[in-house]
Structure 1
């Protein structure tokens, strides 16, 4: 009986999310002439709507610790990746932002169009060092426009209590642009699980770490600082 209720709630959630995605994706395209920060602020209304609908349909909420650590200006956000939840909710927590993502995601109807219209940074993982060069060029340009750049260093979603290799891309961008890094830990995977439509009720915990200054640090050193902090924090969640 409980599984049936969870399934119905999840279906209602996805219906609502799709209903919100269509108009906001079209809005993102219409807003292309406006400054990037303005576009991000306006289109992030989609994320606020989805997170509110998630609370209504699935009784899934979140709390945030460490908001006082958020620096002024634009910076690189490196976050734990356990589910699709954080790709939505980070828009509700952080200032105007864009995301680094697999280029295949840009082809998703509606959402992919919105990613393109908002100047998301597509990457081809198979291109190796060339991908890092493009990431720095594109990321530097977005940061100059006042946008934070969100990257999930693990590259793919990991199940709770597991960890994957932290790829160098986010740290590479930060060190090559002398940008501050803000690490983020959370336990969304316990409630919004990978490869499952079910959403379990509860409270997702998000922790924002102290900013990491990258001046004088190489990318691998930045990457290790981020990984050590996130994984240590995950043990407490």
Structure 2
């Protein structure tokens, strides 16, 4: 049944995405926040189809930890699902992503309309400078910034190398870091066609004020919390363990 539902979802996605991408491109003259609302419409459709067709729902723990000003989201990356759901959970946002994604027909064209920070990951320090320069601009425009510090989707139970870019951006802009853990990969795995029904758990940690903390220390704190929390909320555990300790913070407190 999950296979059939996934097939229906994929067919609907293939029918909807090309015309929606063309519609999005036609909205280029609009202000950037209005363009975002247009592209977000596609995301809402995809999440609606995942719920109604595939039976894939989600719940959020720690929503009260979302700050009231634009911040930097550092999230676990297991699935394509979180690239959709984070847009529904958090305020308007842009992503730090590899520039190659913008070349994907239709999807990449629509993605480009959201004003992302598209980098060449092999550029080293130049990429970090680009993240800071464009990140400051996006924050001034009242956008949140999403970074997947592992850089690519990682199967449940595994951990990728946490890159320093998001922490570097926070340290150089003063924007808070909001760590996010989830178990989406246990329902919709990397490169998996099948979307299994169930309830994905998303856990939002307390925001971290980066003032006076070195980027390497920041990313280590984020990694420790995300990995511990991802293990805690895993469906592989018969019972959910006590909450992972909050990441050390020198500033903002829980709402």
TM-score interval, normalised by the smaller of the two chains: over 0.9
5+ residue gaps, structure 2, are 234-255
In 2, Cα distance between equivalents of 1:223 and 1:131: 17
For the residues of structure 2 that align with 1:219 and 1:38, how far apart are their CA atoms?
33
User: Once the two structures are superposed, what CA deviation does each residue of 1:133-190 show, in whole Å capped at 9, x if it has no partner?
Assistant: 1111111111110111111000011111111110001111111111111110000000
SS in structure 2 opposite 1:122? strand
- Report if the CA contact (8 A) 2:36-2:113 is conserved: no
CA RMSD of aligned residues (A): 1.2
**Contact 1:183–1:226 under 8 Å retained in 2:** yes
Shift of residue 216, structure 1, vs aligned partner: 1.4
Question: Matched residues in 2 for 1:144 and 1:107: separation?
Answer: 27
Partner of 1:106: 102
Tell me how far 1:27 sits from its aligned partner: 3.2
From 169, 173, 189, the counterpart of 1:193:
189
TM-score w.r.t. the length of structure 2 is: 0.88
Tell me whether 102-111 or 16-25 shows the greater mean CA deviation: 16-25
Could you tell me which runs of 5 or more consecutive residues in structure 1 were left unpaired when the two chains were aligned.
Answer: none
What is the aligned length? 233
The runs of at least 4 aligned residues of structure 1 exceeding 6 Å deviation read none
1:169-180 equivalences in 2 (<5 Å): 169-180=165-176
* Structure 1 Cα separation of the partners of residues 40 and 113 of structure 2: 13
- 2:70 & 2:30 partners in 1: Cα distance? 18
| Structure with greater helix percent | 1
Q: 1:140 to 1:27 in 2, by over 3 A?
A: farther
Matches within 5 A, 1:77-116: 77-116=73-112
For normalisation by structure 1, the TM-score amounts to: 0.94
